[in-house]
């Protein structure tokens, strides 16, 4: 799937949503005016009707603004509004651990921070949703039915489906839709309140008038409910089929997501939700919130299955239920598809080990088997000294579009993270130490100075924690540095804001300790700012991209010049790389190669401006950056990671393996 085309599609959907919302408000205003004119005796006088119309618009606008503001915390706020429970990083629950393992792998393969993870424990149906403004504040929430009824392949298919919404911008549209629907339906809520209030008044006349007004508004509110569900269905249906296809593209097998859909069709609970807030989120769910709805937000379940498996026979559904009952409710016992390829089985085996949490889940091997299986999946992660063959078009096509090799690499990378680093990254205080360790120099004298800086900013125990991680960090494969940082970001976001401000100040001192700043050091600090600090207030920091690349030419020049400078060995090669990069993005621009004197300040301004580019502008920027770093014909792993970090800062996440691969 083309990430940039998807972003453009979401923008068109946003415009459609605004139009539908305006039509719904207009219909409600007309209905309220008619009620006031003929039921309440206002008549057809223009002045009072205009005043009433204005009041209705203000009420709807205020209610929408209130609901959107209540979700300013991003995806976690939506999940909590559904009474979902957060999955802790150190959970001992084997179902929750399996869920976390799957989500971490998909996040690493997608090149985004691990989202917050939630479970709706009282929901037996099979359903899930992703919510947030951007991937940095996303939350993925699944029902208990997903954990009870789906095997690992099926769970991964559902998670891959939800990640497609995380990556292509659907989540922002979903949150806006929640707010707009709340405003549209507010008139009905007010009417219901007046109806009950009027019936309880002592004065029959006053109570009758209030109740009559309430009844009229309640009826008008039904118009709002009609339009609200119509908008939900119109916005959601096409996106769900696209997300199914994206999940198949990611996992390169249809059996996982198709198996989940078959179980929804087979079991009585289906994908239904019982939570009172289901109407607000029904447009963002994996499956319909209720069976047989006139305003279904998803294509019919059998239609979705046949789109994935054209030869599907509905008689399979009875067999699924029979196998389920015969097995005592073990999801791994239901055979819905053929055995996976050898490499898939090997990656599956060593990636899902449950560690030290007791007995593994049915069908999951213990850690010893995982370690033995790991070598069988070798080859996905290139050696440190490998030279990568990448092209501008190939890298641009990989943005937010992970493939088979990326899944294999993600499973390997996750398995290669030392236990001490993984445990620290998931711990709120340990996550601070992990990022500090990534910034500490390998030079002994400078290292001592940097550890003293950490002790001064925090305490001696924090400096000791960083020191204890340094050996593991130094031994990391270069491709593990970014995933490790993004694994730590969710825990960082839980720290108090004053502590995070102290943390970022200390990180800046570490980076400047030797009197010079390398681009990879700068990018680490920038990534913390973009994916952690900004995520604390996502609604305030999110800015939709609408800037044209020609309007940001100076910013593109500075970024390409620095990428060419840091990505090539000599000045002549860097100059040619810069010229190739600018020609890729802005043919005929005639911009001269020059390194800004204050390159960090220039890069701060450049990245801030380029992050606001339109999807088309970002696509050209990624192509230009790739040309800048690959012009000498040699791209090593460290340079590819630099490109991934810069693109992550720009909101264009890249998977672990860069290059043209299936």
> Exposed, middle or buried: residue 331 (CB in 10 Å: 0-12, 13-18, 19+)?
buried
The β-bridge relationship of strands 128-131 and 387-388 is unpaired
The span from the CA of 93 to the CA of 354, in Å, is 10
Q: Based on C-alpha coordinates, what's the Rg of the chain?
A: 27
| Active site members | 162
* Residue 386 to residue 634: CA distance in whole angstroms: 9
- Cβ-in-10-Å burial (0-12, 13-18, 19+) of 494 comes to middle
Angle at 287 (CA atoms; ends 281, 288), nearest 5 degrees: 65
Instruction: Give the Å distances, CA to CA, from 424 to 87, 190, 257, 497, 506.
Output: 17, 50, 33, 20, 19
Helix (H, G, I), strand (E, B) or coil at 398: helix
- Between CA 121 and CA 11 the distance in angstroms is 34
Q: What is the CB-side half-sphere exposure of residue 2 using CA atoms within 13 A? A: 9
Nearest to 3 by CA among 401, 545, 548: 401
CA dihedral 600, 530, 111, 133 (to 10 degrees): -150
Cβ(97)–Cβ(61) under 8 Å?
A: no
User: Torsions phi, psi of 169, nearest 5?
Assistant: 95, 0
- Cβ-count burial 132-160 (b if 16+ within 10 Å, e if not): bbbbbbbbbbbbbbbbebbbbbbbbbbbb
- Checking phi first, is residue 633 left (phi over 0); if not, alpha (psi -120 to 50) or beta? left
């Amino acid at each position: 799937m083309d990430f940039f085309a998807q972003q453009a599609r979401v923008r068109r959907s946003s415009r459609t949503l605004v139009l539908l919302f305006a039509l719904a408000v207009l219909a409600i205003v007309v209905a309220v005016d008619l009620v006031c004119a003929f039921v309440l005796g206002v008549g057809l006088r223009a002045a009072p009707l205009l005043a009433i119309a204005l009041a209705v618009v203000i009420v709807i606008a205020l209610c929408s603004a209130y609901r959107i503001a209540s979700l300013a915390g991003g995806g976690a706020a939506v999940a909590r509004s559904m009474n979902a429970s957060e999955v802790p990083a150190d959970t001992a629950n084997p179902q929750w651990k399996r869920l976390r393992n799957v989500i971490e792998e998909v996040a690493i393969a997608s090149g985004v921070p691990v989202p917050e993870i939630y479970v709706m424990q009282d929901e037996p149906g099979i359903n899930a949703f992703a919510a947030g403004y951007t991937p940095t504040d996303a939350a993925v929430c699944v029902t208990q039915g997903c954990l009870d009824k789906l095997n690992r392949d099926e769970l991964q298919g559902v998670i891959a489906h939800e990640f497609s919404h995380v990556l292509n911008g659907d989540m922002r549209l979903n949150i806006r839709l929640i707010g707009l629907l709340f405003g549209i339906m507010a008139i009905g809520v007010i009417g219901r309140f007046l109806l009950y209030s009027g019936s309880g008044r002592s004065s029959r006349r006053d109570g009758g008038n209030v109740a009559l007004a309430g009844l009229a508004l309640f009826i008008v509110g039904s118009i709002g409910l009609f339009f609200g569900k119509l908008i939900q269905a119109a916005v959601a249906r096409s996106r769900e089929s696209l997300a199914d296809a994206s999940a198949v593209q990611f996992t390169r097998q249809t059996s996982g997501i198709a198996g989940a859909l078959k179980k929804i069709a087979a079991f009585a609970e289906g994908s239904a939700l019982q939570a009172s807030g289901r109407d607000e989120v029904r447009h963002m769910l994996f499956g319909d919130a209720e069976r047989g709805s006139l305003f279904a937000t998803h294509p019919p379940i059998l239609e979705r299955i046949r789109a994935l498996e054209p030869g599907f026979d509905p008689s399979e559904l009875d067999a699924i239920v029979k196998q389920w009952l015969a097995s005592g409710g073990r999801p791994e016992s239901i055979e819905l598809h053929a055995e996976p390829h050898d490499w898939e089985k090997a990656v599956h085996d060593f990636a899902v080990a449950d560690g030290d949490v007791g007995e593994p889940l049915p069908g999951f091997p213990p850690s010893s088997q995982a370690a033995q299986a790991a070598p069988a999946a070798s080859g996905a992660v290139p050696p440190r000294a490998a030279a990568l063959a990448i092209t501008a078009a190939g890298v641009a096509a990989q943005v937010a579009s992970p493939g088979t090799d990326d899944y294999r690499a993600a499973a390997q990378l996750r398995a290669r993270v030392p236990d001490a680093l993984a445990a620290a990254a998931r711990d709120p205080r340990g996550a601070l130490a992990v990022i500090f360790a990534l910034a500490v120099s390998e030079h002994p004298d400078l290292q001592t100075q940097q550890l003293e800086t950490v002790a001064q900013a925090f305490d001696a125990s924090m400096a000791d924690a960083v020191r204890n991680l340094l050996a593991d960090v130094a031994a990391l494969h270069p491709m593990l540095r970014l995933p490790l940082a993004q694994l730590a970001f969710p825990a960082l976001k839980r720290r108090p804001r004053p502590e995070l401000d102290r943390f970022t100040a200390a990180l800046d001192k570490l980076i400047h300790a030797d009197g010079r700043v390398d681009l990879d050091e700068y990018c680490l600090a920038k990534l913390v700012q973009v994916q952690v600090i900004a995520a604390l207030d996502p609604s305030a920091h999110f800015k939709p991209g609408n800037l044209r690349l020609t309007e940001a030419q100076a910013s593109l020049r500075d970024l390409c010049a620095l990428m060419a400078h840091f990505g090539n060995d000599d000045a002549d090669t860097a100059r040619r790389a810069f010229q190739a990069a600018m020609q890729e993005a802005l043919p005929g621009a005639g911009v001269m190669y020059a390194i800004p004197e204050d390159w960090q300040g220039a890069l701060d301004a450049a990245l801030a401006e380029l992050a606001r580019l339109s999807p088309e502008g970002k696509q050209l920027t990624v192509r230009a950056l790739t040309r800048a770093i690959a012009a000498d014909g040699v791209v090593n792993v460290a340079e590819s990671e630099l490109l991934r970090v810069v693109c992550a800062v720009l909101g264009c996440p890249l998977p672990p393996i860069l290059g043209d691969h299936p």
